[in-house]
Amino acid sequence: MNQTLPAPEFPTSVDDPPPTSRARTALLKRLADVVCLPSSRVNAFERSITADVLVDMLREAAPGERLKVARRLANLSEVPATLLRLLLRDEIGVSGALLEHSVSLTDADLLDCIRLTTLEHRRMVAIRRGVSEVVADALIEFGEIPVIECLLRNDTARLSHAGLELIVAGTRGDSRLVATLLKRRELRPSHAYVLFWWADVEARRTILQRFAVSREVLQEAAGDVFPLAAEEGWQDPLARKALQFIERRQRNRAAIDKSPFDSLEAAIAVAAQDGMTRETAEEISYLSGLKPTTGSKIFSDQGGEPLAILCKATGLPRAAIRALWRALRRPETEASGEADPKLERVLVTFDMIAVDRAQTVLRYWNWSLSSALTPALVQAIRDNDMEALDEYSVPQRAAMLALSREFGR
């Protein structure tokens, strides 16, 4: 994703009335000259004192005069902190010269600028080369779409896991960032599988193509653990939950003995005939190896692609999608008699994804949308407590992001 980022627009010059004092102009130039001298010509203390005098003058100087000084300092590798702080907090026409070109700015300088200036300043910071995770997190916290978009387009910026979660959460109400976000190399399946629920058609296709990975490596690594867990009667809850995510079999065979239906296919056939009731939806979920929370999320999704994931992961035929579509009372054809485009898109999704990859997506949804729902997490979702994400595990955070709409009312 190599692309040239457009710099935010700011004045290249600042118009001022003609200076009333040639002495002031000359003195500002001389003081800037001293600050710019190499360390072989001026020591740190002398430079610091000169900077203090210059700062005092610049506070009352005209914008054009401050701009001239900022341009002089932009190419220095070391600038006194007091001078930098003053100029970085200045209007964008002045501070932009430093934000665009200066290599001497530290994370502390940038954080000070981010927190005490304007959106245009933050945009300038977002397009700087080599933006660190700390600086990126500070930019993201403001929730400003133009700034975050510049940050996401900046290939040299580094984004933290927590920062990405905040961006993912922000896309629920504003989808403009989704396409750019999906191109970030830092994005992980835990982000993408949650983002899927409110993503548009193209974004969902991208997520399934890029993040629907195989669990073959995990299955090989844990192959000898399954017999050990079985010998212990699956008593360890942590091992049992993790192995449920890893195992190849998707359907819950034990659920058949308790179900009023002979099979998953039979439950879907009844639903197609009589309509999807809450009880039938729960049985289909149990037979598919899912918790009812996950099943409810899948059946209520308006796009329909999760139905394709469910059917492919459980080994159901293509016709099962039509049966579930009919059970949910969704139109199979348009008024013109042509096939419903949503249904056709779901069928294409079924054809494009492999069984094991569909199982990975389905298992992750089930893991994050049900197993992670502790009482504390439910309360956090109700409180919309996005700032408390660090207190929860990865699947818990995924559940918070995906279910905050359902539980946050």
Residue-by-residue DSSP string for 122-170: HHHHHTSTT--HHHHHHHHHTT-HHHHHHHHH-TT----HHHHHHHHHH
Distance CA 202, CA 199 (A): 8
Whether pLDDT at 405 is above 90? no
For residue 370, CA distances in Å to 60, 367, 384 come to: 61, 6, 18
Percent of the chain whose predicted confidence (pLDDT) is above 90: 44
> What average pLDDT does this structure show over 21-36?
84
pTM of full prediction above 0.75: yes
**What's the angle, vertex CA 254, arms to CA 253 and CA 257, rounded to 5?**
105
The DSSP string of 78-94 is ---HHHHHHHHTS-HHH
Q: Residue 387 carries which DSSP code?
A: G
Whether pLDDT at 3 is above 80? no
Which of 172-181, 199-208, 237-246, 368-377 has the highest mean predicted lDDT (pLDDT)? 199-208
What pLDDT does residue 394 have? 66
Residues near 112 by beta carbon (within 8 Å), at least 6 away in sequence: 85, 88, 89
Distance CA 183, CA 206 (A): 10
Helix (H/G/I), strand (E/B), else coil: 22:
helix
Query: CB–CB of 350/361 below 8 Å?
Result: no
At which residue do the structure tokens 């976000």 appear?
Answer: 181
Nearest Cα residue to 128 out of 88, 85, 81? 88
Name the residue type at position 257. D
Whether pLDDT at 11 is above 50? no
> What average pLDDT does this structure show over 186-195?
87
Mean pLDDT of the chain: 84
333, β-bridge pairs: 339
Name the residue type at position 85. R
Describe the crossing of helices 81-88 and 92-101 by its angle, rounded to 10 degrees: 120
The three-state (H, E, C) secondary structure of 190-250, written as one string: HHHHHHHHHCCHHHHHHHHHHHCCCCHHHHHHCCCHHHHHHHCCCCCHHHHHHHHHHCCCC
Describe the crossing of helices 341-352 and 201-211 by its angle, rounded to 10 degrees: 10
Instruction: Give Cα 17 distance to the centre of its chain.
Output: 47
pLDDT tens, position by position, 124-170: 999 999 999 999 999 999 999 999 999 999 999 999 988 998 888 88
339, β-bridge pairs: 333
Query: CB–CB of 308/353 below 8 Å?
Result: yes
What pLDDT does residue 36 have? 78
What pLDDT does residue 135 have? 97
Query: CB–CB of 179/157 below 8 Å?
Result: no
Name the residue type at position 1. M
Whether pLDDT at 173 is above 50? yes
Distance CA 130, CA 349 (A): 38
Q: For residue 91, what pLDDT band results from cuts at 50, 70 and 90?
A: very high
Distance CA 175, CA 134 (A): 25
> What average pLDDT does this structure show over 14-27?
69
pLDDT tens, position by position, 238-297: 888 888 888 888 888 889 889 999 999 999 999 999 999 999 999 999 999 998 888 988
What pLDDT does residue 385 have? 46
What pLDDT does residue 19 have? 55
Percent of the chain whose predicted confidence (pLDDT) is above 70: 85
> What average pLDDT does this structure show over 349-372?
85
> What average pLDDT does this structure show over 328-350?
89
Nearest Cα residue to 2 out of 185, 139, 178, 199? 185
> What average pLDDT does this structure show over 49-69?
87
Whether pLDDT at 374 is above 60? no
Residues near 168 by beta carbon (within 8 Å), at least 6 away in sequence: 181, 191, 194, 195, 401
Helix (H/G/I), strand (E/B), else coil: 373:
coil
Task: Tell me which of 117-121, 248-252, 395-399 is least confident.
Answer: 395-399
Q: For residue 18, what pLDDT band results from cuts at 50, 70 and 90?
A: low
What pLDDT does residue 371 have? 53
Q: For residue 352, what pLDDT band results from cuts at 50, 70 and 90?
A: very high
> What average pLDDT does this structure show over 380-408?
54
